[in-house]
């Protein structure tokens, strides 16, 4: 605050529910009558995609394509989205990729803390997807502790960046249950769609890449 200049930044903050959210911070100086700096004001603004996500939830509820626990798209909706993106790829060569995501050692979490805590872990992982996705990205629950992200208009490098960002955000998130800090990590398989892909082939390829991440020690992303 020595120079009194206005400063702005975007930072990730830890939400009380366990996930990370993107926040805009604006810092300005407080001056006395003589113009001397006496303090500062910080203004925090949540800049996650709440409006887009609320509209998406309403649309999914209407179509009965919402996963009740996580409030993400369910498997049927994911399949429809991938089919739609494959059509765009074939007609207009619009690129897209998918992230196949699995929570590491989820059975151990359930066995150690119980299924209610396991459900809370699924929900806080899902909230990380919702809070840190672009408005046109779609994340859904594929089944159990598996999720798929459908990421349009993306290059391979950007897909890897987005996958690793969400992986690191989840690694650095937690929930507190009866004064116990519970964390989770994810493994990810990432792949871009090609001209010959079908729904089955792209999901199978991403699943194989996810398996390689598991074999390599978990909490990593493998792209191919």
What structural domains and CATH numbers belong to the chain? 7-46 (2.10.70), 51-223 (3.30.70.270)
| 218 φ/ψ angles, rounded to the nearest 5 degrees | 70, 165
pLDDT of 164 above 70? yes
Helix axes 115-131, 156-171, angle to 10 degrees: 140
Identified catalytic residue from 54, 145, 146, 215: 145
pLDDT bucket at 31, cuts 50 / 70 / 90: confident
59-78 confidence digits (pLDDT tens): 777 778 899 999 999 999 99
Q: Which one of 10-24, 47-61, 154-168 scores highest in mean pLDDT? A: 154-168
8 a catalytic residue: no
- For the stretch 104-122, pLDDT in tens is 999 999 999 999 999 999 9
- pLDDT for 51: 67
């Amino acid at each position: 605050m020595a120079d009194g200049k206005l400063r702005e930044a975007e930072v990730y903050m830890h939400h009380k529910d366990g996930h990370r959210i993107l926040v805009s911070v604006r810092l300005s100086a407080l001056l006395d009558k003589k113009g001397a700096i006496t303090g500062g004001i910080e203004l925090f603004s949540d800049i996650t995609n709440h409006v887009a996500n609320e509209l998406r939830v309403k649309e999914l509820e209407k179509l009965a394509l919402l996963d009740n626990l996580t409030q993400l798209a369910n498997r049927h909706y994911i399949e429809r989205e991938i089919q739609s993106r494959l059509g765009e790829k074939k007609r207009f060569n619009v690129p897209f990729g998918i992230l196949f995501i699995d929570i590491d050692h989820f059975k151990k979490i359930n066995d150690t803390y119980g299924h209610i805590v396991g459900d809370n872990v699924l929900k806080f992982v899902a909230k990380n997807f919702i809070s840190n996705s672009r408005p046109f990205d779609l994340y859904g629950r594929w089944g159990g502790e598996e999720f798929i992200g459908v990421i349009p208009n993306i290059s391979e490098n950007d897909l890897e960046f987005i996958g690793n960002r969400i992986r690191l955000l989840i690694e650095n998130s937690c929930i507190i249950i009866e004064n116990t800090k519970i964390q989770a990590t994810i493994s990810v398989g990432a792949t871009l769609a090609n001209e010959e892909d079908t729904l089955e082939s792209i999901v199978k390829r991403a699943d194989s890449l996810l398996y390689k991440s598991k074999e390599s020690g978990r909490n990593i992303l493998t792209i191919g």
